[in-house]
Structure 1
């Protein structure tokens, strides 16, 4: 994760708009398109995403291969990763925006049938039980067995950007953007009952082995990409796939995460 920096090199005249299918987002898309002159997606140098956090995640994944910076405007519910929607002064907002570089996680999942699936996650990689029976997991960090077994509903590895999402709901820690760590958090642990997770170096390789994949099936999810019936899952930072998010200077992501730790 990088410190926020000014994105003054952005050219607002090379902005393209994408919007969720909600009424509010589509109305905003029409309003902005009337006020400005968006370019086609294949000519864009910056993306303005209109919707909620879920739509923004989809947009970040969609444009990741082109390394395009994304400026999100909230027309959803929470909007933690978004900026406030306003139609006026969008050009100035883009010129004055603060850029934050995020490093996603790379999930390599092997299914019980031997299929290999690789996917990226901006928020977290999570393993979740598929049936009424608890999952049974062996956890290795950099090749060393650290927990054997963990009986639980699941477990997840979260980035700092994703630490306030599912990770926080599972009672994991909120991570400052420049902390240099990942959160390994159990979901409803049964044995060991009092284990509450670990903070790991960002370069760590975390491996989950599903001990009874047929009796206690488990799925793995990288953000919204689900792989069913996994046998082994490894998670590492994808340093070769950086993502750039743009924020209003007074509401950049580092400040939001810090503020989140003081909410009652």
Structure 2
């Protein structure tokens, strides 16, 4: 799921693209950085400097995947949490920061979602794929891992599968486990489970295929949300690691995503 040991990437990024979310803070930061170099369009860049929050970083990474050209991304936090981002400092030389950064390589989930009318959609999820009830009726979901049905009927508000990079996001809010980046694991986490009430989820090898089949989808409709993309009236989702779609995040030395995941487990307030 996540590879790389946080080592220096050994590359020299000469052509940088500057991308900013549409918030006032991010646009002000963009204006402050414009004079630091000759920025190039994303299609011509060796690496991207991304100004915003985690949501904008995910949006940028998905745009790269959709365009079929993925380059390393160095984020600077102008949002709220900034889990995937570095600290913003307008005084620092941005080119030097990017070229001193350490890299982490992420493989997202490849999700095949089938709707009630038989349409098949292929989407990728960098953080997680969530199945969520659409109405006040609880969802009923059959859970298959590997070649075996593990839970015949999970009655719940929903269920999600999170990557190590996404394990501190929605998964953590749903009381799922935090996964080390190099663990090659996935978190399968129920959302407000009613039956079986004591099931708290599972930690799975990321090589295993997972199938989530919606039971009684007409009466109990379910939506699938992969990061920021939503599909409604789902009948079934099948997911596995997208091993051919590696993404690279760049972090300042000592500020890696791995350290943030470890630190998150010691927050007590």
Q: TM-score range by the shorter chain?
A: over 0.9
Equivalenced residue count is: 263
Which residue in 1 is equivalent to 2:81? 78
Which residue in 1 is equivalent to 2:17? 16
Which residue in 2 is equivalent to 1:205? 209
Deviates more, 1:20-29 or 1:87-96: 87-96
Q: Is the 8 A contact 2:211 2:239 kept in 1?
A: yes
* TM-score, structure 2 normalization: 0.96
Q: CA deviation at 1:169?
A: 0.1
CA distance in 2, matches of 1:35, 1:89: 7
- Asked if 1:28 corresponds to 2:29, the answer is yes
Which residue in 2 is equivalent to 1:135? 139
Determine which of 253, 261, 264 is the counterpart of 1:249: 253
Q: CA deviation at 1:255?
A: 0.8
Q: CA deviation at 1:193?
A: 0.6
Which residue in 2 is equivalent to 1:185? 189
CA distance in 1, matches of 2:203, 2:197: 18
For residues 39-54 of structure 1, what are the structure 2 equivalents within 5 Å? 39-54=40-55
Q: Secondary structure at the match of 1:173?
A: coil
User: How large is the RMSD of aligned CA atoms in angstroms?
Assistant: 0.8
Q: Is the 8 A contact 2:36 2:93 kept in 1?
A: no
Q: Is the 8 A contact 1:10 1:46 kept in 2?
A: no
CA distance in 1, matches of 2:191, 2:39: 43
CA distance in 2, matches of 1:40, 1:59: 13
Q: Secondary structure at the match of 1:251?
A: coil
CA distance in 1, matches of 2:56, 2:180: 23
Q: Secondary structure at the match of 2:30?
A: helix
Q: CA deviation at 1:162?
A: 0.1
Structure 2 residues not aligned, in runs of 5+: none
Q: Is the 8 A contact 1:139 1:147 kept in 2?
A: yes
For residues 151-190 of structure 1, what are the structure 2 equivalents within 5 Å? 151-190=155-194
For residues 82-93 of structure 1, what are the structure 2 equivalents within 5 Å? 82-87=85-90, 88-93=92-97
CA distance in 2, matches of 1:42, 1:60: 13
- Asked if 1:6 corresponds to 2:8, the answer is yes
